[in-house]
Structure 1
Protein backbone atom coordinates (compact mmCIF):
# COMPACT_ATOMS: atom_id res chain seq x y z
CA UNK A 1 0.00 0.00 0.00
CA UNK A 2 1.28 3.47 -0.91
CA UNK A 3 0.91 6.61 1.20
CA UNK A 4 -2.10 8.69 0.19
CA UNK A 5 0.00 11.87 0.40
CA UNK A 6 3.74 12.54 0.39
CA UNK A 7 5.64 15.75 0.91
CA UNK A 8 9.21 15.33 -0.25
CA UNK A 9 12.07 17.68 0.72
CA UNK A 10 9.82 20.73 0.95
CA UNK A 11 11.43 24.15 1.35
CA UNK A 12 9.94 27.62 1.51
CA UNK A 13 11.36 30.93 2.68
CA UNK A 14 9.69 34.22 3.51
CA UNK A 15 12.65 36.58 3.19
CA UNK A 16 15.24 35.40 5.71
CA UNK A 17 12.72 33.19 7.54
CA UNK A 18 12.78 29.48 6.76
CA UNK A 19 9.10 28.57 6.90
CA UNK A 20 9.86 25.04 5.67
CA UNK A 21 13.38 23.65 5.79
CA UNK A 22 13.77 20.31 3.99
CA UNK A 23 10.52 18.83 5.33
CA UNK A 24 9.33 15.37 4.32
CA UNK A 25 6.08 13.81 5.53
CA UNK A 26 3.92 10.85 4.51
CA UNK A 27 0.24 10.23 5.33
CA UNK A 28 -1.29 6.78 4.92
CA UNK A 29 -4.91 5.89 4.00
CA UNK A 30 -7.12 6.00 7.08
CA UNK A 31 -4.41 7.61 9.21
CA UNK A 32 -4.87 10.75 11.33
CA UNK A 33 -1.73 12.84 11.76
CA UNK A 34 -1.47 15.93 13.95
CA UNK A 35 1.10 18.64 13.25
CA UNK A 36 1.89 20.49 16.48
CA UNK A 37 4.20 23.35 17.39
CA UNK A 38 4.21 26.92 18.61
CA UNK A 39 3.09 29.88 16.51
CA UNK A 40 5.60 30.44 13.72
CA UNK A 41 6.86 26.85 13.73
CA UNK A 42 5.76 26.30 10.12
CA UNK A 43 2.88 23.92 10.81
CA UNK A 44 0.16 25.90 9.01
CA UNK A 45 2.52 26.63 6.11
CA UNK A 46 3.22 22.92 5.77
CA UNK A 47 -0.51 22.14 5.77
CA UNK A 48 -1.18 24.71 3.05
CA UNK A 49 1.70 23.49 0.89
CA UNK A 50 0.55 19.88 1.20
CA UNK A 51 -3.02 20.95 0.34
CA UNK A 52 -1.82 22.70 -2.82
CA UNK A 53 -2.73 26.17 -1.52
CA UNK A 54 0.87 27.42 -1.40
CA UNK A 55 3.73 26.66 -3.77
CA UNK A 56 7.00 25.37 -2.28
CA UNK A 57 10.30 26.73 -3.58
CA UNK A 58 11.77 23.24 -3.54
CA UNK A 59 10.45 19.70 -3.17
CA UNK A 60 7.18 18.23 -4.33
CA UNK A 61 3.85 16.91 -3.06
CA UNK A 62 2.54 13.59 -4.39
CA UNK A 63 -1.07 12.42 -4.06
CA UNK A 64 -1.88 8.76 -4.73
CA UNK A 65 -5.44 8.45 -6.04
CA UNK A 66 -7.85 5.56 -5.43
CA UNK A 67 -6.27 3.61 -8.30
CA UNK A 68 -2.80 4.14 -6.85
CA UNK A 69 -1.62 6.56 -9.54
CA UNK A 70 0.67 9.32 -8.23
CA UNK A 71 -0.05 12.95 -9.07
CA UNK A 72 2.31 15.85 -8.49
CA UNK A 73 -0.10 18.26 -6.81
CA UNK A 74 1.74 21.44 -7.76
CA UNK A 75 2.15 20.32 -11.38
CA UNK A 76 -1.62 19.97 -11.86
CA UNK A 77 -3.52 22.52 -13.89
CA UNK A 78 -5.79 24.80 -11.86
CA UNK A 79 -8.93 23.04 -13.13
CA UNK A 80 -7.50 19.64 -12.18
CA UNK A 81 -6.64 20.88 -8.70
CA UNK A 82 -10.15 22.28 -8.21
CA UNK A 83 -11.64 18.91 -9.22
CA UNK A 84 -9.37 17.18 -6.73
CA UNK A 85 -10.49 19.55 -3.96
CA UNK A 86 -14.17 19.03 -4.80
CA UNK A 87 -14.13 15.25 -4.90
CA UNK A 88 -11.15 13.59 -3.22
CA UNK A 89 -10.12 16.26 -0.72
CA UNK A 90 -11.69 18.50 1.88
CA UNK A 91 -10.36 21.44 3.85
CA UNK A 92 -11.73 22.56 7.23
CA UNK A 93 -10.67 26.11 8.10
CA UNK A 94 -10.11 27.42 11.61
CA UNK A 95 -12.61 30.19 10.93
CA UNK A 96 -15.75 28.51 9.60
CA UNK A 97 -16.62 31.68 7.68
CA UNK A 98 -13.61 31.00 5.43
CA UNK A 99 -15.11 27.63 4.46
CA UNK A 100 -18.75 28.69 4.10
CA UNK A 101 -20.70 31.02 1.83
CA UNK A 102 -22.43 33.24 4.33
CA UNK A 103 -25.02 34.48 1.85
CA UNK A 104 -26.22 30.94 1.02
CA UNK A 105 -28.48 28.85 3.26
CA UNK A 106 -27.09 26.10 5.48
CA UNK A 107 -28.53 23.41 3.21
CA UNK A 108 -27.32 25.30 0.16
CA UNK A 109 -23.76 25.29 1.49
CA UNK A 110 -23.82 21.50 1.71
CA UNK A 111 -25.67 21.12 -1.58
CA UNK A 112 -23.22 23.33 -3.47
CA UNK A 113 -20.38 20.91 -2.84
CA UNK A 114 -22.51 18.00 -4.06
CA UNK A 115 -23.40 19.96 -7.20
CA UNK A 116 -19.73 20.81 -7.77
CA UNK A 117 -19.02 17.08 -7.63
CA UNK A 118 -21.71 16.35 -10.25
CA UNK A 119 -24.96 16.07 -8.29
CA UNK A 120 -27.99 17.39 -10.19
CA UNK A 121 -31.17 15.95 -8.62
CA UNK A 122 -32.61 18.65 -6.34
CA UNK A 123 -34.52 16.25 -4.12
CA UNK A 124 -31.50 14.00 -3.58
CA UNK A 125 -29.26 16.96 -2.86
CA UNK A 126 -31.69 18.40 -0.32
CA UNK A 127 -32.11 14.99 1.33
CA UNK A 128 -28.33 14.60 1.58
CA UNK A 129 -28.05 18.07 3.12
CA UNK A 130 -30.68 17.17 5.73
CA UNK A 131 -28.92 13.88 6.48
CA UNK A 132 -25.57 15.57 6.98
CA UNK A 133 -26.98 18.28 9.17
CA UNK A 134 -28.32 15.51 11.39
CA UNK A 135 -24.97 13.70 11.33
CA UNK A 136 -23.18 16.78 12.64
CA UNK A 137 -25.91 17.25 15.26
CA UNK A 138 -27.67 20.21 13.66
CA UNK A 139 -31.44 20.54 13.27
CA UNK A 140 -32.37 19.88 9.60
CA UNK A 141 -35.41 22.10 10.13
CA UNK A 142 -32.95 25.02 10.05
CA UNK A 143 -31.69 24.04 6.61
CA UNK A 144 -33.00 27.18 4.94
CA UNK A 145 -31.43 29.56 7.47
CA UNK A 146 -28.26 31.52 6.66
CA UNK A 147 -25.04 30.45 8.44
CA UNK A 148 -24.82 33.86 10.14
CA UNK A 149 -27.80 32.80 12.29
CA UNK A 150 -25.75 30.00 13.87
CA UNK A 151 -23.20 30.12 16.69
CA UNK A 152 -19.49 29.67 15.98
CA UNK A 153 -19.63 26.02 17.00
CA UNK A 154 -22.63 25.37 14.78
CA UNK A 155 -20.95 27.12 11.85
CA UNK A 156 -17.97 24.82 12.31
CA UNK A 157 -20.29 21.79 12.30
CA UNK A 158 -21.86 23.09 9.09
CA UNK A 159 -18.43 23.52 7.50
CA UNK A 160 -17.58 19.92 8.44
CA UNK A 161 -20.85 18.69 6.90
CA UNK A 162 -20.11 20.66 3.72
CA UNK A 163 -16.61 19.17 3.61
CA UNK A 164 -17.59 15.54 4.22
CA UNK A 165 -20.80 15.26 2.17
CA UNK A 166 -18.82 14.11 -0.89
CA UNK A 167 -16.99 11.51 1.24
CA UNK A 168 -13.44 12.69 0.43
CA UNK A 169 -10.50 10.35 0.91
CA UNK A 170 -8.32 13.03 2.50
CA UNK A 171 -9.19 15.97 4.76
CA UNK A 172 -6.99 18.84 5.87
CA UNK A 173 -7.94 20.63 9.11
CA UNK A 174 -6.39 23.88 10.28
CA UNK A 175 -7.04 24.35 14.02
CA UNK A 176 -10.63 23.05 13.64
CA UNK A 177 -11.54 23.88 17.25
CA UNK A 178 -9.52 27.07 17.63
CA UNK A 179 -11.38 30.08 18.98
CA UNK A 180 -14.28 28.05 20.40
CA UNK A 181 -15.30 27.74 24.05
CA UNK A 182 -13.78 24.76 25.85
CA UNK A 183 -17.10 22.92 26.20
CA UNK A 184 -17.86 23.46 22.49
CA UNK A 185 -14.36 22.26 21.58
CA UNK A 186 -14.86 19.01 23.49
CA UNK A 187 -18.16 18.19 21.76
CA UNK A 188 -16.75 19.09 18.35
CA UNK A 189 -13.66 16.93 18.86
CA UNK A 190 -15.86 13.98 19.80
CA UNK A 191 -17.90 14.55 16.64
CA UNK A 192 -14.80 14.75 14.43
CA UNK A 193 -13.35 11.60 15.98
CA UNK A 194 -16.53 9.60 15.39
CA UNK A 195 -16.92 10.78 11.78
CA UNK A 196 -13.27 10.12 10.95
CA UNK A 197 -13.52 6.58 12.31
CA UNK A 198 -16.86 5.92 10.61
CA UNK A 199 -15.75 7.15 7.18
CA UNK A 200 -12.17 5.83 7.35
CA UNK A 201 -10.74 9.22 6.41
CA UNK A 202 -7.10 10.16 6.14
CA UNK A 203 -6.73 13.41 8.07
CA UNK A 204 -3.87 15.86 8.42
CA UNK A 205 -4.58 18.51 11.00
CA UNK A 206 -2.76 21.40 12.59
CA UNK A 207 -3.27 22.14 16.26
CA UNK A 208 -1.57 23.81 19.19
CA UNK A 209 -3.83 21.77 21.50
CA UNK A 210 -1.96 18.72 22.81
CA UNK A 211 -5.21 17.28 24.22
CA UNK A 212 -6.81 17.43 20.76
CA UNK A 213 -3.77 15.73 19.25
CA UNK A 214 -3.97 12.93 21.81
CA UNK A 215 -7.69 12.44 21.23
CA UNK A 216 -7.68 12.41 17.43
CA UNK A 217 -4.25 11.48 16.10
CA UNK A 218 -2.63 8.14 15.43
CA UNK A 219 0.68 9.91 14.84
CA UNK A 220 2.10 13.28 15.86
CA UNK A 221 4.60 15.46 14.01
CA UNK A 222 6.32 18.19 16.04
CA UNK A 223 7.63 21.25 14.19
CA UNK A 224 10.00 24.02 15.22
CA UNK A 225 11.58 26.74 13.08
CA UNK A 226 10.34 25.13 9.87
CA UNK A 227 11.72 21.67 10.60
CA UNK A 228 10.25 18.42 11.93
CA UNK A 229 12.06 17.77 15.21
CA UNK A 230 10.14 14.68 16.30
CA UNK A 231 7.45 12.34 15.01
CA UNK A 232 5.95 9.07 16.09
CA UNK A 233 2.87 7.35 17.47
CA UNK A 234 0.79 9.82 19.46
CA UNK A 235 1.06 8.05 22.82
CA UNK A 236 4.82 7.59 22.44
CA UNK A 237 5.48 11.23 21.53
CA UNK A 238 3.30 12.60 24.34
CA UNK A 239 4.20 10.09 27.07
CA UNK A 240 7.91 9.70 26.23
CA UNK A 241 9.04 12.76 24.25
CA UNK A 242 12.63 12.52 23.03
CA UNK A 243 13.41 16.00 21.69
CA UNK A 244 13.92 18.81 24.26
CA UNK A 245 11.41 21.02 22.45
CA UNK A 246 8.73 18.29 22.58
CA UNK A 247 9.50 17.79 26.25
CA UNK A 248 8.98 21.51 26.80
CA UNK A 249 5.64 21.45 24.93
CA UNK A 250 4.32 18.51 26.92
CA UNK A 251 5.58 19.92 30.22
CA UNK A 252 3.88 23.25 29.55
CA UNK A 253 0.54 21.48 29.15
CA UNK A 254 1.02 19.43 32.33
CA UNK A 255 1.89 22.61 34.25
CA UNK A 256 -1.16 24.50 33.02
Structure 2
Protein backbone atom coordinates (compact mmCIF):
# COMPACT_ATOMS: atom_id res chain seq x y z
CA UNK A 1 0.00 0.00 0.00
CA UNK A 2 3.01 2.31 0.21
CA UNK A 3 3.55 4.81 3.01
CA UNK A 4 0.66 6.01 5.19
CA UNK A 5 -0.89 9.36 4.34
CA UNK A 6 -1.10 10.16 8.07
CA UNK A 7 0.36 8.25 10.99
CA UNK A 8 0.40 8.86 14.72
CA UNK A 9 2.68 7.23 17.26
CA UNK A 10 2.32 6.92 21.06
CA UNK A 11 -0.19 9.77 21.46
CA UNK A 12 -0.67 10.73 25.12
CA UNK A 13 -3.10 13.30 26.49
CA UNK A 14 -4.44 13.85 29.99
CA UNK A 15 -7.29 16.01 31.22
CA UNK A 16 -6.44 16.14 34.91
CA UNK A 17 -6.55 12.56 36.17
CA UNK A 18 -8.32 11.32 33.02
CA UNK A 19 -6.23 9.65 30.33
CA UNK A 20 -7.97 10.90 27.18
CA UNK A 21 -5.31 9.26 24.99
CA UNK A 22 -3.08 6.55 26.34
CA UNK A 23 -0.39 5.39 23.94
CA UNK A 24 -2.42 5.56 20.74
CA UNK A 25 -0.87 4.45 17.43
CA UNK A 26 -2.96 4.83 14.29
CA UNK A 27 -2.47 5.32 10.55
CA UNK A 28 -4.44 5.85 7.36
CA UNK A 29 -3.50 5.18 3.75
CA UNK A 30 -4.55 7.11 0.63
CA UNK A 31 -8.15 6.33 -0.33
CA UNK A 32 -8.85 4.46 2.92
CA UNK A 33 -11.81 5.08 5.25
CA UNK A 34 -11.03 4.38 8.91
CA UNK A 35 -13.88 4.44 11.42
CA UNK A 36 -13.02 5.25 15.04
CA UNK A 37 -15.75 3.77 17.23
CA UNK A 38 -16.49 3.64 20.94
CA UNK A 39 -18.89 4.87 23.56
CA UNK A 40 -19.05 8.47 24.76
CA UNK A 41 -15.87 9.34 26.64
CA UNK A 42 -13.77 6.68 24.91
CA UNK A 43 -11.42 9.30 23.46
CA UNK A 44 -12.43 8.98 19.81
CA UNK A 45 -13.30 12.66 19.20
CA UNK A 46 -10.21 13.76 21.14
CA UNK A 47 -8.10 11.52 18.91
CA UNK A 48 -9.66 13.05 15.79
CA UNK A 49 -8.86 16.58 16.96
CA UNK A 50 -5.26 15.68 17.78
CA UNK A 51 -4.82 14.03 14.37
CA UNK A 52 -6.26 17.14 12.70
CA UNK A 53 -3.89 19.41 14.62
CA UNK A 54 -6.72 21.10 16.52
CA UNK A 55 -5.39 19.85 19.89
CA UNK A 56 -1.85 19.32 21.15
CA UNK A 57 -0.98 15.94 22.71
CA UNK A 58 1.18 15.77 25.82
CA UNK A 59 3.43 13.31 24.01
CA UNK A 60 3.71 11.47 20.72
CA UNK A 61 3.64 12.82 17.21
CA UNK A 62 1.53 12.94 14.05
CA UNK A 63 3.16 12.80 10.61
CA UNK A 64 1.45 13.80 7.37
CA UNK A 65 2.84 13.00 3.91
CA UNK A 66 2.06 15.54 1.23
CA UNK A 67 1.48 14.81 -2.46
CA UNK A 68 5.22 14.82 -3.07
CA UNK A 69 5.73 12.20 -0.34
CA UNK A 70 7.45 14.58 2.08
CA UNK A 71 6.61 13.92 5.73
CA UNK A 72 5.57 16.82 7.99
CA UNK A 73 5.31 16.76 11.79
CA UNK A 74 1.84 18.25 12.34
CA UNK A 75 2.69 19.53 15.84
CA UNK A 76 5.78 21.30 14.52
CA UNK A 77 3.82 23.26 11.91
CA UNK A 78 3.08 26.91 12.58
CA UNK A 79 -0.54 27.97 13.09
CA UNK A 80 -0.46 29.45 9.57
CA UNK A 81 0.89 26.16 8.23
CA UNK A 82 -1.92 24.19 9.82
CA UNK A 83 -4.49 26.61 8.41
CA UNK A 84 -3.00 26.14 4.95
CA UNK A 85 -3.26 22.37 5.32
CA UNK A 86 -6.88 22.59 6.49
CA UNK A 87 -7.98 24.71 3.53
CA UNK A 88 -6.08 22.69 0.92
CA UNK A 89 -5.08 19.07 1.62
CA UNK A 90 -7.43 18.51 4.56
CA UNK A 91 -11.07 19.03 5.41
CA UNK A 92 -13.09 18.72 8.63
CA UNK A 93 -16.81 17.90 8.84
CA UNK A 94 -18.27 18.75 12.24
CA UNK A 95 -21.16 16.95 13.92
CA UNK A 96 -23.02 20.24 14.18
CA UNK A 97 -23.03 21.77 10.72
CA UNK A 98 -23.22 25.26 12.23
CA UNK A 99 -19.68 24.78 13.54
CA UNK A 100 -18.46 24.32 9.98
CA UNK A 101 -20.53 26.99 8.24
CA UNK A 102 -20.70 30.78 8.22
CA UNK A 103 -24.36 31.35 9.04
CA UNK A 104 -24.29 35.01 7.99
CA UNK A 105 -23.44 34.42 4.32
CA UNK A 106 -25.19 32.54 1.53
CA UNK A 107 -24.94 28.83 0.75
CA UNK A 108 -22.89 29.66 -2.33
CA UNK A 109 -20.74 32.02 -0.31
CA UNK A 110 -19.93 29.25 2.14
CA UNK A 111 -18.68 26.99 -0.63
CA UNK A 112 -16.98 29.80 -2.54
CA UNK A 113 -15.17 31.07 0.55
CA UNK A 114 -13.09 27.89 0.72
CA UNK A 115 -12.20 28.22 -2.96
CA UNK A 116 -11.13 31.80 -2.36
CA UNK A 117 -9.00 30.70 0.59
CA UNK A 118 -7.30 28.29 -1.81
CA UNK A 119 -6.50 31.17 -4.20
CA UNK A 120 -9.41 31.23 -6.67
CA UNK A 121 -10.36 34.81 -7.55
CA UNK A 122 -12.61 34.26 -10.60
CA UNK A 123 -16.15 35.10 -9.43
CA UNK A 124 -17.89 33.33 -12.32
CA UNK A 125 -15.87 30.15 -11.74
CA UNK A 126 -16.42 30.25 -7.97
CA UNK A 127 -20.18 30.64 -8.39
CA UNK A 128 -20.32 27.88 -11.00
CA UNK A 129 -18.35 25.54 -8.73
CA UNK A 130 -20.62 26.35 -5.78
CA UNK A 131 -23.73 25.60 -7.84
CA UNK A 132 -22.16 22.38 -9.15
CA UNK A 133 -21.30 21.19 -5.64
CA UNK A 134 -24.76 21.99 -4.35
CA UNK A 135 -26.06 19.65 -7.03
CA UNK A 136 -23.49 17.00 -6.16
CA UNK A 137 -24.67 16.91 -2.54
CA UNK A 138 -28.30 16.82 -3.71
CA UNK A 139 -29.22 20.40 -2.87
CA UNK A 140 -31.14 22.67 -5.24
CA UNK A 141 -28.58 25.00 -6.90
CA UNK A 142 -31.33 27.57 -7.34
CA UNK A 143 -31.07 28.17 -3.58
CA UNK A 144 -27.43 29.26 -3.90
CA UNK A 145 -28.14 32.76 -2.55
CA UNK A 146 -30.08 31.61 0.53
CA UNK A 147 -28.39 31.59 3.95
CA UNK A 148 -27.80 28.26 5.77
CA UNK A 149 -30.46 29.14 8.36
CA UNK A 150 -33.10 28.57 5.66
CA UNK A 151 -32.12 24.91 5.36
CA UNK A 152 -32.93 21.87 7.51
CA UNK A 153 -30.27 20.22 9.66
CA UNK A 154 -29.69 17.53 7.06
CA UNK A 155 -29.33 20.09 4.29
CA UNK A 156 -26.96 22.19 6.40
CA UNK A 157 -24.80 19.08 6.79
CA UNK A 158 -24.84 18.55 3.02
CA UNK A 159 -23.77 22.16 2.59
CA UNK A 160 -20.91 21.70 5.06
CA UNK A 161 -19.77 18.60 3.12
CA UNK A 162 -19.85 20.57 -0.16
CA UNK A 163 -17.82 23.37 1.44
CA UNK A 164 -15.30 20.82 2.71
CA UNK A 165 -14.88 18.88 -0.54
CA UNK A 166 -14.93 21.68 -3.13
CA UNK A 167 -11.11 22.01 -2.98
CA UNK A 168 -10.58 18.25 -3.47
CA UNK A 169 -8.76 17.55 -0.18
CA UNK A 170 -6.70 14.38 0.18
CA UNK A 171 -7.77 13.69 3.79
CA UNK A 172 -11.06 14.46 5.52
CA UNK A 173 -11.86 14.23 9.24
CA UNK A 174 -15.54 13.57 10.06
CA UNK A 175 -16.83 13.81 13.62
CA UNK A 176 -20.22 12.08 13.90
CA UNK A 177 -21.47 13.73 10.68
CA UNK A 178 -24.91 12.09 10.96
CA UNK A 179 -25.33 12.56 14.72
CA UNK A 180 -28.50 14.32 15.83
CA UNK A 181 -30.32 13.78 12.53
CA UNK A 182 -33.48 11.75 11.95
CA UNK A 183 -32.85 8.11 11.03
CA UNK A 184 -34.15 8.51 7.47
CA UNK A 185 -31.99 11.62 6.98
CA UNK A 186 -28.98 9.78 8.40
CA UNK A 187 -29.41 6.94 5.90
CA UNK A 188 -29.59 9.26 2.89
CA UNK A 189 -26.60 11.27 4.11
CA UNK A 190 -24.49 8.14 4.68
CA UNK A 191 -25.28 6.98 1.14
CA UNK A 192 -24.22 10.38 -0.16
CA UNK A 193 -20.95 10.33 1.82
CA UNK A 194 -20.16 6.79 0.67
CA UNK A 195 -20.68 7.75 -2.98
CA UNK A 196 -18.55 10.90 -2.76
CA UNK A 197 -15.73 9.14 -0.91
CA UNK A 198 -15.58 6.41 -3.56
CA UNK A 199 -15.86 8.88 -6.45
CA UNK A 200 -13.16 11.23 -5.17
CA UNK A 201 -10.83 8.59 -3.71
CA UNK A 202 -10.73 10.35 -0.34
CA UNK A 203 -8.97 9.17 2.77
CA UNK A 204 -11.35 9.65 5.71
CA UNK A 205 -11.07 9.39 9.48
CA UNK A 206 -14.68 8.91 10.56
CA UNK A 207 -15.69 9.10 14.23
CA UNK A 208 -18.97 7.42 15.10
CA UNK A 209 -20.78 5.52 17.82
CA UNK A 210 -23.00 3.97 15.11
CA UNK A 211 -21.76 0.48 14.23
CA UNK A 212 -24.07 0.42 11.20
CA UNK A 213 -22.48 3.58 9.83
CA UNK A 214 -19.02 2.11 10.39
CA UNK A 215 -19.97 -1.05 8.51
CA UNK A 216 -21.37 0.97 5.59
CA UNK A 217 -18.46 3.38 5.18
CA UNK A 218 -15.27 1.96 6.63
CA UNK A 219 -12.57 -0.23 5.18
CA UNK A 220 -10.98 -0.53 8.61
CA UNK A 221 -12.29 -0.03 12.16
CA UNK A 222 -10.46 1.19 15.26
CA UNK A 223 -12.21 0.50 18.58
CA UNK A 224 -11.41 2.80 21.49
CA UNK A 225 -12.07 2.52 25.21
CA UNK A 226 -10.73 4.73 28.01
CA UNK A 227 -8.27 6.44 25.66
CA UNK A 228 -6.79 3.23 24.30
CA UNK A 229 -7.24 1.27 21.09
CA UNK A 230 -8.50 -2.15 22.18
CA UNK A 231 -9.08 -3.65 18.75
CA UNK A 232 -8.56 -2.75 15.09
CA UNK A 233 -8.78 -4.49 11.74
CA UNK A 234 -10.75 -4.79 8.54
CA UNK A 235 -14.35 -3.70 9.10
CA UNK A 236 -15.99 -7.03 8.29
CA UNK A 237 -13.56 -8.95 10.50
CA UNK A 238 -13.99 -6.63 13.49
CA UNK A 239 -17.80 -6.58 13.26
CA UNK A 240 -18.37 -10.23 12.32
CA UNK A 241 -15.67 -11.74 14.53
CA UNK A 242 -14.92 -9.27 17.35
CA UNK A 243 -12.13 -10.51 19.59
CA UNK A 244 -11.99 -8.02 22.44
CA UNK A 245 -14.74 -8.26 25.06
CA UNK A 246 -15.56 -4.56 24.69
CA UNK A 247 -15.96 -4.86 20.91
CA UNK A 248 -18.15 -7.93 21.44
CA UNK A 249 -20.31 -5.85 23.77
CA UNK A 250 -20.62 -3.01 21.25
CA UNK A 251 -21.60 -5.35 18.44
CA UNK A 252 -24.00 -7.42 20.53
CA UNK A 253 -25.75 -4.27 21.81
CA UNK A 254 -26.50 -3.30 18.19
CA UNK A 255 -27.76 -6.77 17.32
CA UNK A 256 -30.01 -6.79 20.38
CA UNK A 257 -31.49 -3.35 19.61
For the aligned pair, the TM-score class normalised by the smaller chain equals over 0.9
Aligned to 1:207: 208
Instruction: Quote the RMSD (CA, aligned, Å).
Output: 0.3
How far apart are residue 252 of structure 1 and its match? 0.2
Regions of 4+ moved over 3 Å: none
Shift of residue 34, structure 1, vs aligned partner: 0.1
Please show how residues 158-173 of structure 1 align to structure 2 within 5 Å. Answer: 158-173=159-174
1:195 deviates by 0.1
> Residues of 2 paired with 1:151 and 1:57: CA distance?
39
- Deviation, 1:214, is 0.1
2:143 maps to 142
Match of 1:49 in 2: 50
Give the aligned partner of residue 234 of structure 2: 233
Q: 1:116-167 CA deviation, whole Å, 9 max, x = no partner? A: 0000000000000000000000000000000000000000000000000000
Could you tell me which residue of structure 2 aligns to residue 8 of structure 1?
9
Distance between the aligned counterparts of 2:235 and 2:159, measured in 1? Answer: 28
Give, in whole Å, the separation in 1 of the partners of 2:48 and 2:15. 16
Q: Could you say which residue in structure 1 is the equivalent of 2:102? A: 101
Shift of 1:234: 0.2
Q: Which runs of 5+ in 1 are unaligned?
A: none
1:91 aligns with 2:92: yes
Alignment of 1:188-227 (within 5 A): 188-227=189-228
Q: How far apart are residue 242 of structure 1 and its match?
A: 0.1
- Number of matched residues? 256
Offset of residue 29 of structure 1: 0.3
**How far off its partner does 1:226 sit?**
0.3
CA deviation profile, 1:60-84 (whole Å, cap 9, x unmatched): 0000000000000010011111000
- The residue number in structure 2 matching 1:174 is 175
Structure 1 equivalent of residue 32 of structure 2:
31
Q: Distance in 1 between matches of 2:201 and 2:33?
A: 10
Return 5+ residue gaps in structure 2 as ranges: none
Deviation at 1:215, TM superposition (A): 0.1
SS at match of 2:62: strand
CA distance in 1, matches of 2:21, 2:225: 10
TM-score, with normalisation over the residues of structure 2? 0.99
The residue aligned with 1:254 is 255
